[in-house]
């Protein structure tokens, strides 16, 4: 994490780490005056607290590498089996993210420097159906069909998801390897979405990362604890994850001149400022007209369509997008896009209205195609078993304990 050594923090304060959650530290960091200097905090010292009110990997600054793995339950695995899996996965994730070797692993050398590793778990609808249907969130269902999407089954809904992120790609690969192996009696891999953003320290502090269209991506994200409480985390620390896989047609996009690209986005390419001026974080003036009386910001620009309308301020969520590139199909120049990860309390209220507005008329639609979609409930944070009451608001010692205990007895 830029500018703050979580590991040093963890080591220095031991038991208190559970209380001062990742979110608190983060907010403190992000509220500091912006610093455009380089990152000099050694990555070898960087670790993210695992236990806390909510899971890590959500308000954690995006680490360079993503392995997002969708898993389906093997035949015959019931709610009790899921609980056993969650108990062992939680324990192993707690060890890996702290740079300790999980009990079942013979490879202590591979886990020494977690490099801000986070492992975040989500439940698909089916987990509730088999384990505790009575408490299934009402928003936990497929995102409604929207115009233009071309969803492919191979990137569809799964029973479980692990979002594994690290600033070291070897650590990221190893953590996926370990978790897959640890869960092999219960689940099989359905898909793996591998993504990347800028490396730790590779862009100046305070610089919003760019996607492969050259857009800064994440400008309007929540920053303060209060914004996270409003938009992302429920009172118990749970949230939701919507995964949209979005193919981006770089070849066509790059035929546009810069002015046309900026019209499509609604922002300047160089600094991400709204076309009506100011800097990246200034509000756009949607009523501004140019010398010919035309709107400066096109009503169908990506920014204009994505903005919450005045009467729906709740249409905000956390974007945690990752780029992907794959070998191009024969005859193509590229095969690239976004693994668009959206975290919010309630997708029906916060996410889907924005998606629908975008798919209806966003100028960027000409160069983007949604090819995958899935939705997960993200269990609250956890507390280490046997520890004090610090940690998850509900005292869960493993992911989803409260939900899965409904299947007991």
Residues that bind a second copy (CB under 8 A): 38-40, 42-45, 64-65, 67, 106-110, 112-113, 115, 167-171, 173-174, 176-177, 180-181, 184, 188-189, 191-192, 194, 196-204, 209-210, 212, 214, 250-251, 254, 257-258, 269-270, 323, 325-328, 330-331, 333-334, 336
Using the minimum distance from each CB to a second copy, give the nearer residue, 212 or 359.
212
Least spacing, CB of residue 258 vs a second copy, in Å: 6
CB contact burial 243-275 (16+ within 10 A = b; e otherwise): bbbbbbbbeebeeeeeeebbbbbbbbbeebbbb
Least spacing, CB of residue 104 vs a second copy, in Å: 10
Least spacing, CB of residue 26 vs a second copy, in Å: 21
Using the minimum distance from each CB to a second copy, give the nearer residue, 154 or 360.
154
Using the minimum distance from each CB to a second copy, give the nearer residue, 80 or 181.
181
- Burial class of residue 320 in the structure, from the number of CB atoms within 10 Å of its CB (0-12 exposed, 13-18 middle, 19+ buried): buried
Least spacing, CB of residue 96 vs a second copy, in Å: 15
Least spacing, CB of residue 291 vs a second copy, in Å: 25
Using the minimum distance from each CB to a second copy, give the nearer residue, 176 or 383.
176
Least spacing, CB of residue 25 vs a second copy, in Å: 20
Least spacing, CB of residue 215 vs a second copy, in Å: 9
Using the minimum distance from each CB to a second copy, give the nearer residue, 36 or 145.
36
Using the minimum distance from each CB to a second copy, give the nearer residue, 34 or 202.
202
For the chain, the first-to-last Cα distance in angstroms comes to 43
Using the minimum distance from each CB to a second copy, give the nearer residue, 256 or 349.
256
Least spacing, CB of residue 202 vs a second copy, in Å: 4
Residue pair 113/168 in contact (Cβ under 8 Å)? The answer is yes
Using the minimum distance from each CB to a second copy, give the nearer residue, 156 or 295.
156
């Amino acid at each position: 994490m830029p500018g703050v050594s979580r590991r040093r923090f963890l080591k220095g304060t031991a038991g208190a780490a559970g209380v001062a959650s990742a979110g608190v530290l983060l907010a403190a960091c992000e509220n500091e005056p912006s610093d455009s200097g380089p990152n000099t905090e050694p990555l070898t010292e960087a670790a993210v607290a695992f236990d806390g009110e909510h899971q890590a990997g959500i308000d954690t600054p995006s680490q360079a590498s993503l392995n997002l793995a969708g898993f389906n339950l093997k035949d015959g695995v019931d709610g009790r089996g899921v609980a056993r899996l969650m108990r062992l996965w939680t324990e192993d994730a707690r060890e890996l993210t702290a740079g300790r070797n999980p009990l079942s692993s013979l490879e202590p050398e591979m886990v020494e420097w977690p490099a801000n590793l986070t492992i975040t778990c989500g439940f698909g609808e089916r987990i509730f159906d088999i384990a505790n249907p009575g408490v299934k969130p009402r928003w936990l269902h497929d995102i409604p069909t929207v115009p233009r999407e071309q969803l492919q089954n191979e990137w569809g809904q799964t029973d479980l998801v692990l979002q594994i992120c690290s600033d070291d790609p070897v650590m990221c690969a190893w953590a996926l390897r370990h978790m897959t192996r640890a869960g092999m009696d219960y689940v099989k891999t359905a898909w793996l979405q591998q993504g990347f953003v800028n490396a730790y320290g590779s862009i100046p502090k305070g610089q919003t990362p760019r996607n492969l269209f050259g857009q800064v991506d994440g400008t309007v994200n929540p920053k303060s604890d209060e914004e996270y409480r409003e938009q992302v985390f429920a009172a118990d620390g749970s949230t939701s994850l919507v995964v949209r896989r979005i193919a981006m047609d770089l070849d066509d996009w790059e035929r546009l001149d810069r002015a046309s690209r900026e019209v499509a986005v609604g922002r300047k390419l160089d600094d991400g400022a709204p076309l009506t001026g100011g800097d990246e974080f200034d509000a756009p003036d949607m009523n501004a007209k140019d010398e010919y009386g035309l709107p400066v910001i096109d009503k169908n620009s990506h920014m204009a369509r994505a903005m919450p309308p005045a009467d729906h301020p709740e249409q905000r969520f956390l974007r945690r997008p990752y780029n992907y590139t794959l070998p191009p199909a024969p005859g193509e120049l590229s095969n690239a896009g976004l693994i668009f990860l959206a975290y919010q309390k309630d997708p029906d209220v916060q996410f889907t209205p924005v998606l629908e507005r975008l798919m209806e008329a966003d100028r960027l639609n000409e160069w983007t195609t949604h090819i995958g979609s899935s939705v997960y409930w993200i269990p609250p944070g956890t507390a280490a078993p046997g520890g004090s009451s610090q940690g998850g608001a509900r005292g869960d010692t493993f992911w989803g304990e409260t939900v899965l205990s409904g299947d007991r007895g």
